[in-house]
């Protein structure tokens, strides 16, 4: 099993197969527009621009499960990301990452990289999952780990 077996909803309501990203390094992040960590969008975009021509894709999944910090519609989220942070990596449809309605991709990611607590739940917005070119989950980074801090690890996978 790999992330390439999953399909996800795009912000415009279409479906995208993650098999489209086979052969690429993925960073999957649950994001929010009204979070203290929202400025990480800037670092994620910088990481994306530095690595996209070398096989990096970043996929943002808006989530409103943490303090109601992503209350907007998919269209509002797209507008915010574009105008506030000039985000060019895909920001997909809003999802739940924990609980009974968690997106199946996130259930898989949590099981493959459970984190550093007794629960495999995602703790907060901007939790990052690093995926190898083969679609296997390599590592989970907790929300306070910045894109700048993980850049060396990402770069090593792109070389």
Q: What's the pLDDT score for residue 148?
A: 97
pLDDT in tens, 86-138: 999 999 999 999 999 999 999 999 999 987 777 899 999 999 999 999 999 99
Is 35 known to be catalytic? yes
Continuous H helices in 86-146: 104-112
Model pTM score: 0.96
Contact 71, 64 (CB under 8 A): yes
Q: What is the phi-psi region of residue 13: left when phi exceeds 0, alpha when psi lies from -120 to 50, beta otherwise?
A: left
As beta bridge partners, residue 140 has: 129
Structural contact between residues 129 and 140, judged by C-beta atoms closer than 8 angstroms: yes
What's the confidence (pLDDT) of residue 63? 98
Give the span between the Cα atoms of 41 and 5, in whole angstroms: 27
Catalytic pick among 35, 56, 77, 122: 35
Predicted confidence at residue 123, as pLDDT, reads 94
Segment 37-69, tens digit of pLDDT: 999 999 999 999 999 999 999 999 999 999 999
Distances (CA, A) of 145 to 5, 24, 159: 27, 22, 22
Q: Choose between 117 and 26: higher pLDDT.
A: 26
Q: Which domains are assigned to the chain?
A: 3-158 (3.40.30.10)
Is the distance from CB of 148 to CB of 41 less than 8 angstroms? Answer: no
How do residues 1-23 score in pLDDT, each as one tens digit? 999 999 999 999 999 999 999 99
Mean pLDDT value across residues 149-155: 96
Cα Rg of the chain, angstroms: 14
Distance CA 64, CA 133 (A): 29
């Amino acid at each position: 099993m790999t992330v390439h077996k999953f399909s996800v909803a795009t912000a415009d309501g279409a479906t995208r197969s993650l098999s489209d990203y086979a052969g690429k390094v993925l960073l999957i992040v649950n994001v929010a527009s009204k979070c203290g960590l929202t400025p990480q969008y800037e670092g994620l975009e910088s990481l994306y621009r530095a690595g996209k021509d070398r096989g990096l894709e970043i996929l943002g999944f808006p989530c409103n499960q943490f303090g109601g910090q992503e209350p907007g519609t998919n269209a509002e989220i797209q507008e915010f990301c574009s105008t506030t942070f000039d985000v060019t990596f895909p920001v997909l449809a809003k999802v739940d990452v924990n609980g009974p309605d968690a997106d199946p991709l996130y259930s898989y990611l949590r099981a493959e990289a459970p984190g550093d607590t007794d629960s495999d739940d995602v703790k907060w917005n901007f939790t990052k999952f690093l995926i190898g070119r083969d679609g296997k989950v390599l590592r989970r980074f907790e929300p306070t780990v910045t894109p700048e801090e993980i850049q060396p690890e990402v770069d090593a996978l792109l070389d």
